[in-house]
Each structure stands twice: as structure tokens, then as C-alpha cells.
């Protein structure tokens, strides 16, 4: 029993999570309306059945009393005298001993009439083929006793009940449809501002720090929700701006000593008196300082651009392809195949900043990489594939975490690429752990469209 109840609760939770709030409201309203309609149909049928029974008994009783009033017996020992004009089909008169004095008995009701002919109290039963049978004991003015047994067909009453059931069911169905329609209309009217808010918020990206819902004074629940969310956005924007200021300040503070280190390493590399091990150490310092300088440049660029509207910029993919080919490293092959008919709604430099770390990783783990593009609705996905070892299952969940690296690097490349992409309303994701070349495929997605040049 407990397991069954647990399964029901789990099913209800899954059902609720799977359906939208509007569908849930309409469904619940339809269920409640159906329950009410079913209850009304049952009540109507019970009421009609009671009314039909009461009417049948009243008709039988009136008919029986009329017949009893016409029966005569001159003396206590004389036989009952029943006028033939008062008798009809399915009506019989019995004396005290249960012997039929007058009337006819339908063949299908012989046993019922025989049972009722000796009753000492008024009784009504159902017998034959949909007939009500009443036994009405009587005593004449001369104290002669007998029993009148008469019938009333139930078919007319049953037809009325069936017709009433059909009408009740149709009315109940209309009630359910009207209730569900009303719930759908009301929920659409009530929830349309919320849906508009969701669509509006979905169009915002991380750089849209000044955007607000601005629904006006909180005069109703929806506006109160919008006001609360605007206040929350103010707090979030304040935190993001503080983080951006800190990033910018740290980057500025680090750039000067990093430039000094890099310059000193370059000067050391020009010296002729260094042994092989020293030159390798100097080269390591140069590469590390160059990588860190590039990371700082990206952070500074993000900090400067946080208030700009990226979606006002547009970059044709054939222009982007020219810049990407320049990122190829010696000894590697970079195949860039971007259709000129597609464009992305971000500056070219931002797209390069997002793609560069991914291309760098691809060319580190393999000697070949491919860059392609595909349109996906209102977005354009830039696909970077390599022929390396791919991405193991245990790396998938931690791949974009800052500081994590599977090959001994700084662990900032993918997380920084995702941050750059999201600042332009896009994202970075792992599409294939093992592609047709054996390596991994990443997608850098930006808002974009298919727009050929004039």
C-alpha cells in the first residue's frame, strides 16, 4: 500500500513538472467541472427515479381507490360485485381467501398476482416486463374483505428518465467545455504578462545590465512580481558591476608587471651565452607570460564592453574566416569552412576571443582542426572539431569549471570562452565527445541569421 501511494505521489509530481501552469489550470478545472457534472447527472437521475416511483404509486393508488369505491357486497356472506367498467388490462380483484373474483391476470405476472392476492397491507413491487404492481387490501361497507391488484407500465417513465439522462450528459459536457474554455481564456489573460516577461528576459544577455521589466506601480500580483524582479536585477547588476570593476583593476595591476616579465624574457632569449636548459626555461617564461597577457586582454575587453549593445554589431562569417585562419599554429592544419550567407550579431573581436581558446585546445591535442557553421533558428553555431583523443565521460561535468584542466594547462580557456560568448548573448557547449575524426566537437553559439550580402 505504501509503495502504491509513493508511486502515485511520484507520478503526480512528474505530471505536474511536465505540464505548463496554464495546462495544469485548464486540466484541473476540467476535472473539477467533470466531477460536478457527473454529480449533477447522478442527482438528477436519483431525483427522477424517486419522482417516477412516487408518481407510479400515486396513479396506482388513485386507480385502486376508484375501483374499491365501486365494489359492492350486499351482506357479509355475499360475493363481491365488481363493475366490469372499472376493470382494465392487468387489474384483478380477489376475495379474502385469495380467489380471483374479477379481472384478468397477465401471463407473465401470474406468480406476482398470486403472491399479492393474500396480502393484508398495501404493497408495490416490480414485475413482468417493466411494470409496477400494487396490492390494495379493502373492506366494503358490509365488512366483506378483499384485495385489488393492478398494474402500471413503467416504460413511459423510463423513457423520460433516459431522455433526462441524455440531456443531463449533454449539459454536463457543455459545462465542462465552458469551464475549460473559461479557464484557458482567463489563464491566458492572466499569464500573458508573465510569458512576455519570460520572452523578454530570454532575449537578454549578461551585458544587458540596464534592462528592466518596468511594469509600473505594483497595483496587482503580476506588477508586484515585476517590481520584485526589477529590484533583484538591480542587486544582481550591482554585484556584476563590482565584479567587473575588480576584474578590470586586477587586470590593470597585473598587466604592468606581466609586460615587464615578458619583455625581460624576450631580452634574455636574445642572449648568446645561455645554455640549452636556460633557453628552455626562458621560452617557458615567454609562453606563459604571453598566455597570461592574452587572458588579461580578454578580461579587460569584457570589462570595457559590459555596457555596450553587442546585438547592434554584425559580423559576416566569411570575414570571420579570414581572421580564424590566422590562428593556425606551425605544423598544424586548420580547415575553416564558413558560409558567407550567415552572419552573427556580435563584434568580430568578441567572436575571435570566444573561439581562440577552443581552437588553441584543439590544435594542442591534435594536428588538425575543422571550423564550420550551421544556422539554428535565430542563432548560428560555430563548430570546432579536432582529431584528438576526444573527451572522456569523467571530464564532461567539470569541463567548463575555471581552473580545471585535463592536459596540465591553466584551466581558464574553456571557462573564459564560455564567459566571452555569454557576454554576447551566446554560449559554448560540448556537442560530441567523439566525432567522426575521433576527437571532440565544441559549439560556440551566437545570435545570428541567414543574411546574404547585397
Across 332-361, b (16+ Cβ under 10 Å) vs e yields bebebebbeebbbbbbbebbbbbbbbbbbb
Q: How far apart are CA 310 and CA 366, in angstroms?
A: 33
pLDDT computed for residue 312 by the predictor = 59
- How many helical (H) and strand (E) elements, i.e. helices and strands, does the chain have? 9, 12
- Alpha-carbon distances of 33 from 3, 164, 271, 314, rounded to whole Å: 30, 19, 90, 54
- For residue 147, what is its C-alpha cell? 384485495
- pLDDT for 429 equals 93
DSSP state, residue 72: B
Is residue 409 located within the same domain as residue 373?
yes
Residue 412 falls within a domain, yes or no? Answer: yes
In a domain, 212, yes or no: no
pLDDT, tens digit, for every residue of 49-66? 888 888 888 988 888 888
- Asked if residue 214 is part of any domain, the answer here is no
Report the 10 Å Cβ neighbour count for 208: 18
Question: Is 89 within a domain?
Answer: no
Report yes or no on 383 lying in a domain.
yes
Global confidence as pTM: 0.49
CA–CA dist 453, 405 (Å, integer):
41
Among residues 337, 346, 341, 340, which one has the least CA distance to residue 315? 346
Provide the residue range defining the domain that includes 22. 2-49+159-196
State whether 388 and 444 are in the same domain. Answer: yes
Domain shared by 381 and 444, yes or no: yes
Q: Are 300 and 251 in contact (CB under 8 A)?
A: yes
271/322 same-domain check: no
Give the pLDDT of residue 454: 45
Interval 62-73: pLDDT, tens: 888 888 888 887
Same domain, 294 and 353: no
Task: Give the end of a domain, one of 260, 286, 305.
Answer: 305
Q: How far is CA 203 from CA 232, 375, 429, 446, in A?
A: 18, 18, 19, 12
8 Å CB contact between 441 and 397: no
Give the pLDDT of residue 386: 93
Q: Are residues 287 and 321 in the same domain?
A: no
Q: Are residues 290 and 347 in the same domain?
A: no
Instruction: Indicate if 437 and 372 belong to the same structural domain.
Output: yes
Q: What are the residue ranges in the chain where pLDDT is below 70?
A: 1-18, 128-129, 202-209, 244, 247, 291, 295, 298-312, 406-411, 451-454
Q: Are residues 300 and 325 in the same domain?
A: no
- State the residue for C-alpha cell 416511483: 53
| CATH code assigned at 414 | 3.30.565.10
Question: Which of 341, 358, 333 is closest to 412 using CA atoms?
Answer: 358
Q: What is the CATH classification number for the domain harbouring 266?
A: 1.10.287.130
315 lies in the same domain as 299: no
In a domain, 94, yes or no: no
Other beta carbons within 10 angstroms of residue 425's beta carbon come to 22
Q: Which cell numbers in the block locate residue 27?
A: 486540466
Number of domains in the chain: 3
Please state, in angstroms and rounded to a whole number, the distance separating the CA atoms of residues 326 and 322: 7
DSSP-derived letter for residue 424 is T
In this structure, the answer to whether residues 168 and 267 fall within a common structural domain is: no
Residue with cell 544556422: 375
The verdict on 375 and 245 lying in the same domain is: no
Angle between helices 348-365 and 276-305 (to 10 degrees): 150
Q: Where are the beta strands (DSSP E) in 235-361?
A: 315-316, 333-337, 342-344
pLDDT value, residue 371:
93
The span from the CA of 348 to the CA of 350, in Å, is: 5
Amino acid at each position: 500500500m505504501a509503495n502504491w501511494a509513493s508511486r502515485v505521489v511520484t507520478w503526480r509530481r512528474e505530471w505536474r513538472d511536465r505540464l505548463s501552469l496554464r495546462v495544469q489550470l485548464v486540466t484541473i478545472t476540467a476535472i473539477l467541472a467533470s466531477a460536478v457534472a457527473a454529480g449533477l447527472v447522478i442527482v438528477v437521475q436519483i431525483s427522477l427515479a424517486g419522482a417516477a416511483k412516487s408518481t407510479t404509486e400515486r396513479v396506482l393508488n388513485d386507480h385502486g381507490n376508484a375501483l374499491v369505491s365501486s365494489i359492492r357486497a350486499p351482506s357479509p356472506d355475499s360475493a363481491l360485485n365488481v363493475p366490469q367498467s372499472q376493470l382494465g388490462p392487468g387489474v384483478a380483484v380477489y376475495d379474502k381467501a385469495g380467489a380471483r373474483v374479477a379481472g384478468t391476470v397477465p401471463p407473465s405476472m401470474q406468480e406476482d398476482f398470486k403472491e399479492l392476492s393474500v396480502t393484508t397491507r398495501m404493497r408495490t413491487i416490480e414485475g413482468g416486463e417493466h411494470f409496477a404492481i400494487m396490492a390494495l387490501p379493502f373492506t366494503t361497507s358490509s365488512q366483506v374483505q378483499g384485495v385489488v391488484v393492478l398494474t402500471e407500465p413503467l416504460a413511459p417513465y423510463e423513457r423520460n428518465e433516459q431522455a433526462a439522462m441524455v440531456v443531463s450528459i449533454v449539459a454536463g459536457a457543455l459545462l465542462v467545455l465552458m469551464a475549460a474554455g473559461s479557464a484557458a481564456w482567463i489563464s491566458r489573460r492572466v499569464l500573458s504578462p508573465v510569458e512576455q516577461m519570460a520572452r523578454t528576459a530570454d532575449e537578454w544577455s549578461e551585458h544587458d545590465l540596464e534592462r528592466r521589466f518596468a511594469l509600473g506601480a505594483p497595483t496587482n500580483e503580476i506588477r508586484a512580481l515585476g517590481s520584485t524582479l526589477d529590484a533583484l536585477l538591480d542587486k544582481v547588476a550591482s554585484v556584476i558591476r563590482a565584479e567587473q570593476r575588480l576584474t578590470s583593476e586586477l587586470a590593470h595591476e597585473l598587466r604592468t608587471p606581466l609586460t615587464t616579465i615578458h619583455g625581460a624574457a624576450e631580452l634574455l632569449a636574445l642572449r648568446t651565452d645561455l645554455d640549452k636548459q636556460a633557453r628552455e626555461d626562458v621560452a617557458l617564461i615567454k609562453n606563459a607570460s604571453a598566455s597570461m597577457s592574452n587572458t588579461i586582454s580578454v578580461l579587460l575587453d569584457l570589462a570595457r564592453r559590459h555596457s555596450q549593445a553587442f546585438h547592434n554589431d554584425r559580423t559576416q562569417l566569411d570575414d570571420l574566416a579570414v581572421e580564424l585562419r590566422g590562428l593556425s599554429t606551425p605544423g598544424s592544419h586548420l580547415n575553416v569552412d564558413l558560409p558567407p550567407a550567415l552572419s552573427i550579431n556580435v563584434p568580430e573581436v568578441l567572436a575571435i576571443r570566444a573561439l581562440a581558446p577552443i581552437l588553441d585546445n584543439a590544435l594542442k591535442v591534435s594536428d588538425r582542426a575543422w571550423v564550420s557553421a550551421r544556422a539554428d533558428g535565430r542563432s548560428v553555431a560555430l563548430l570546432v572539431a579536432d582529431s584528438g583523443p576526444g573527451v572522456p565521460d569523467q571530464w564532461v561535468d567539470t569541463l567548463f569549471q575555471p581552473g580545471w584542466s585535463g592536459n596540465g594547462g591553466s584551466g581558464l580557456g574553456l571557462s573564459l570562452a564560455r564567459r566571452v560568448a555569454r557576454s554576447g548573448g551566446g554560449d559554448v557547449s560540448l556537442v560530441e565527445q567523439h566525432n567522426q575524426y575521433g576527437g571532440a566537437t565544441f559549439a560556440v553559439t551566437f545570435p545570428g541569421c541567414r543574411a546574404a550580402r547585397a
